[in-house]
Structure 1
């Protein structure tokens, strides 16, 4: 009897052939996903109750027609926000984990705004609309990143089974959280304290959920981790190590990183003379790399003949040059402090910069091949499309 019950439960929550049909990271991911949905379901009760109170359902301060109109406008605003944000679809492939976590933070922000309607019920419509926009944008992020994550867990052609069971686990946890929250709400707990507790649980579970995902592809964040490790140790990290070292809270829209791939000429070079001085070094390459001292960034410019491998090599070269400059800056800072305990000028001179670039060309010519081989040995799949190269090209 017990075995039959367990078999029935397993048929709903784990893919057929488990655990051999999925990767090892499936279990921790689903554990944190279930916990996140549990907290999300619990918060849903309080936010919905607050919205209904704010719009006047329980206080009989609004007619049923006005309530319906407000609710329709609120939902309509959310759908518009979802539609507008969906055009950013390709970016979900570049920084899947970062955007997934950012979407969950946005979901919490929307829930917080919904609760704020309790304090200012006369502002129900604008606040509810803003909250629904935030939550619908978060929903787009969750939906768009769901399939690639499930695909990473599937072994063979069982992506549909993995997806179905994953969604079932989320729904079960959501229902449990909703039931618990209904029981708690009958005791009229502090709204702020309850929300703060549930919100912390939701965000922490979301972070651990995303952190547990092991992807085989090298996007910008994981590419940086792999190259940095290779330059320092001569080894490329394993899939597990590379994913664990990836920065999750580095949201792509806040600012560009220290390496700009596929940049424009005017951003990379301060004057044409700098370009002419470096051009002979990259005569046989389909790209160029340089460092702009005024912006403190390394720029990789792609020529119009650049193919997939050229883009990957340009990104690798840019990180090598960045490593040279950062190492030199650290040495100069240490030397300067020993001499006068002051601050040093970390901007390399034109002569130093040309020497760094020349040295980086020599290093890349001998190390790019071994880097690719060691990355492939560890199971990494490199694709220039996930490095998000800009559209600008040198003619």
Structure 2
């Protein structure tokens, strides 16, 4: 038998941690040697903590921004737990806990009205905004936390207005249920971004464990605070202000830490504008910190992506003009008087087609409102096209749009190549198109 004494047969690791070596023993058995620094007990405790509260395979199994986001998310959850306790105490006091003159039935009716109003808010908000939460997850996450702080403030102030107490707590319940829908939906969207090994369930479960631990810590701190704030409104308001500032700051840092590689309208606008100015596409790490986080961000040119045909034209001639010379999977209609562009998507349109259609609308916006000179096109031609967009009558818009199609065919291939090279995902997007799709090749099929 060959002498293998001291020779390493193989090495093994659990993710990027717990490296160990296997060596042969004289009797033929394998010996496992752990490659650990001193302080093995501490390392073992750390390993247990990581296995309980972090996804399996961390950090390789999650996105690079996972740790920074979770740290600030933990801070905001702790602050929210404290302010939530202050609000609960105020509501209980308002419904009559500790007051001999109040009745159980009155308190029950108030609580039922509060919950019922919240349920109605949950349904209405999910119906009106549910399809938009994926596209702007960071903005809606920040909105949810701001609204949550407003709802908590209303509950803390409610006992000071006994005549309007029921109305105030019902409104607060309405807001909190909106927070629940927006917060839960955006958390799911962020979990999808963070999970890198088809491990959404594990990432979500560990996030729940982290939140439970933080809420437990918040409850313990709340037990110490409750006797102090029971009859001290000034201290209650001071603590609310302190922890609300911490909560909002931590939420801002948390969403700023998220670096999404998929394109939504705000991120596409940023990278395309940069591309026109400098002939290069910035990566996600550069564009994400510049993305606006306040809801209400709108392009100067209103865009409807995936519009139904009947909303853009009722004229056969206009529809046929839009089809002339068009070799793309989208049709674009421009309404200068309303400052709007509507895009019809073909039934075969894929993610790249949607990105190109949205980029085309942004190119129109650049011609109308931006002072950007692209390096890919002749400056005089761009200035002439811009002048015609502003000065020519509306019935000439089709001719101008036809020229922009030709220009986009020159610009977009290089732009798409830059997107891929910079690390952006193009096989899916968060541009939020409507579900309408048109098949304008059907007449040609019937003629054969």
TM over 0.5: yes
Is the Cα contact below 8 Å between 2:389 and 2:400 reproduced in 1?
Answer: no
**Quick check: 127-136 or 182-191, which moved more?**
182-191
Is the Cα contact below 8 Å between 2:368 and 2:389 reproduced in 1?
Answer: no
Number of aligned residues: 378
**Quick check: 286-295 or 211-220, which moved more?**
286-295
Does residue 13 in structure 1 map to residue 53 in structure 2? yes
Cα distance in 2, alignment partners of residues 192 and 369 from structure 1: 57
Which residue of 349, 355, 361 maps to 1:307? Answer: 349
Which residue of 25, 29, 38 maps to 2:78? Answer: 38
For the residue of structure 1 that corresponds to 2:228, the secondary structure is: coil
Does residue 349 in structure 1 map to residue 394 in structure 2? no
Displacement of 1:13 in angstroms is 2.2
Larger helix proportion, structure 1 or 2?
A: 1
Does residue 388 in structure 1 map to residue 422 in structure 2? no
Which residue of 404, 413, 418 maps to 1:374? Answer: 418
**Quick check: 27-36 or 167-176, which moved more?**
167-176
Cα distance in 2, alignment partners of residues 24 and 243 from structure 1: 14
Does residue 100 in structure 1 map to residue 145 in structure 2? no
Is the Cα contact below 8 Å between 1:262 and 1:390 reproduced in 2?
Answer: yes
RMSD: 3.3
Does residue 111 in structure 1 map to residue 171 in structure 2? no
Cα distance in 2, alignment partners of residues 101 and 183 from structure 1: 29
Displacement of 1:256 in angstroms is 8.4
Which residue of 323, 336, 359 maps to 1:316? Answer: 359
Cα distance in 2, alignment partners of residues 81 and 383 from structure 1: 35
Over 3 Å counting, the alpha-carbon distance change for 1:25 and 1:328 in structure 2 is closer
CA displacement 1:16-47 (0-9 Å, x = unmatched): 33222222201110011001101100101110
Over 3 Å counting, the alpha-carbon distance change for 1:268 and 1:128 in structure 2 is same
Displacement of 1:123 in angstroms is 2.3
Displacement of 1:317 in angstroms is 1.0
Is the Cα contact below 8 Å between 1:301 and 1:393 reproduced in 2?
Answer: no
Is the Cα contact below 8 Å between 1:321 and 1:356 reproduced in 2?
Answer: no
Gaps of 5+ in 2: 1-40, 374-386, 441-448
**Quick check: 377-386 or 76-85, which moved more?**
377-386
**Quick check: 78-87 or 103-112, which moved more?**
78-87
Displacement of 1:257 in angstroms is 6.0
For the residue of structure 2 that corresponds to 1:348, the secondary structure is: helix
The residue that corresponds to 2:66 in the other structure is 26
Does residue 76 in structure 1 map to residue 76 in structure 2? no
Which residue of 227, 233, 247 maps to 1:202? Answer: 247
CA displacement 1:220-243 (0-9 Å, x = unmatched): 222222222222222222122222
Q: Which has the higher contact order (CA 8 A, sep 6+)?
A: 1
Q: Larger Cα Rg: Structure 1 or Structure 2?
A: 2
Which residue of 272, 295, 318 maps to 1:250? Answer: 295
Cα distance in 1, alignment partners of residues 301 and 94 from structure 2: 43
Cα distance in 2, alignment partners of residues 86 and 358 from structure 1: 39
For the residue of structure 2 that corresponds to 1:167, the secondary structure is: helix
Cα distance in 2, alignment partners of residues 210 and 104 from structure 1: 11
**Quick check: 32-41 or 100-109, which moved more?**
100-109
The residue that corresponds to 1:336 in the other structure is none
Cα distance in 2, alignment partners of residues 371 and 286 from structure 1: 18
Displacement of 1:264 in angstroms is 6.3
Gaps of 5+ in 1: 331-344
Over 3 Å counting, the alpha-carbon distance change for 1:7 and 1:60 in structure 2 is farther
Aligned pairs for 1:196-275 (under 5 A) are 196-251=241-296, 258-263=302-307, 275=318
Displacement of 1:175 in angstroms is 2.5
Is the Cα contact below 8 Å between 2:263 and 2:429 reproduced in 1?
Answer: no
Cα distance in 1, alignment partners of residues 258 and 317 from structure 2: 43
